[in-house]
């Protein structure tokens, strides 16, 4: 309850009373020299600084990127413009006759016994050493050829091929495994080398009576 205090007054003056209000939670606050309300003033945000910095960074990175592309492109152009080193072709084998090379002759023409004609020429001229000559399984072989088994026999095969009119040469060890000869001469209908004048053309079939 608030207390009432009267004050003394001079004669003729009215007495006044002073009312002391009750204490509350604000009476216990520490006294401060600050008077009035204070506001926190925020610092101005400098967006233009960040914008300029971002633009400068973008321009710098873009310039570096373009420079790197130009440099890389130039390097790629220099690499692609260089001509590849030429590859060396394997050395060509020169024809060279081998009088001691074993030769087998297979007659695949329609002229029986023609293989003996060719193997006789090979023996007579020393183009090789005839092991045997035989008739082929068929008599309608069209293309003549010389087959050799091993790489080191290629020169002898080429030399014999030249003497027999330039017939083609192939590497195939199948004939070597079958006949045991380094060189195998297969005679066909296209043979035009030495002795080809003795080829007898195939006889036309005689029509049956009554046809």
**Domains present along the chain, CATH in parentheses:** 102-198 (3.30.70.2390)
The pLDDT, as a whole number, for residue 26 is 55
The pLDDT, as a whole number, for residue 176 is 83
How many angstroms separate the CA atoms of 144 and 134, rounded? 15
Nearest C-alpha neighbor of 130 from the set 121, 119, 115:
119
The pLDDT, as a whole number, for residue 204 is 43
pLDDT in tens, the chain (211 residues): 545 545 454 555 555 555 566 666 655 655 555 555 445 444 555 555 666 566 656 555 565 555 555 555 555 555 455 556 666 666 788 999 999 999 999 999 999 999 999 999 999 999 999 998 999 888 889 999 999 988 999 999 999 999 999 999 999 888 888 888 999 999 999 999 999 998 876 654 444 454 4
The pLDDT, as a whole number, for residue 185 is 95
Token pair recorded at residue 134: 């035989």
The pLDDT, as a whole number, for residue 164 is 95
How many angstroms separate the CA atoms of 173 and 179, rounded? 10
The pLDDT, as a whole number, for residue 72 is 56
The pLDDT, as a whole number, for residue 173 is 84
E runs forming strands in 53-138: 102-107, 129-135
Write the DSSP symbol of residue 162: H
The pLDDT, as a whole number, for residue 83 is 59
């Amino acid at each position: 309850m608030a207390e009432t205090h009267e004050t003394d007054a001079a004669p003729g003056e009215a007495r006044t009373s002073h009312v002391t209000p009750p204490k509350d939670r604000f009476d216990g606050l520490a006294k401060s020299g600050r008077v009035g309300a204070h506001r926190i003033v925020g610092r101005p945000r400098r967006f233009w600084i960040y914008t300029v910095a971002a633009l400068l960074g973008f321009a710098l990175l873009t310039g570096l990127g373009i420079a790197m592309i130009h440099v890389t492109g130039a390097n790629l152009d220099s690499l692609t413009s260089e001509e590849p080193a030429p590859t060396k072709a394997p050395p060509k084998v020169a024809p060279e006759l081998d009088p001691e090379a074993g030769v087998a002759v297979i007659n695949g023409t329609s002229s029986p016994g023609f293989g003996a004609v060719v193997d006789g020429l090979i023996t007579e001229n020393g183009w090789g050493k005839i092991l045997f000559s035989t008739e082929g399984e068929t008599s309608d072989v069209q293309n003549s050829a010389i087959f050799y088994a091993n790489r080191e026999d290629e020169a002898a095969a080429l030399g014999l091929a030249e003497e027999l009119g330039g017939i083609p040469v192939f590497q195939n060890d199948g004939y070597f495994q079958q006949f045991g000869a380094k060189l195998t001469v297969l005679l066909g209908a296209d043979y035009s080398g030495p002795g080809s004048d003795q080829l007898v053309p195939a006889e036309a079939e005689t029509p049956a009576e009554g046809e």
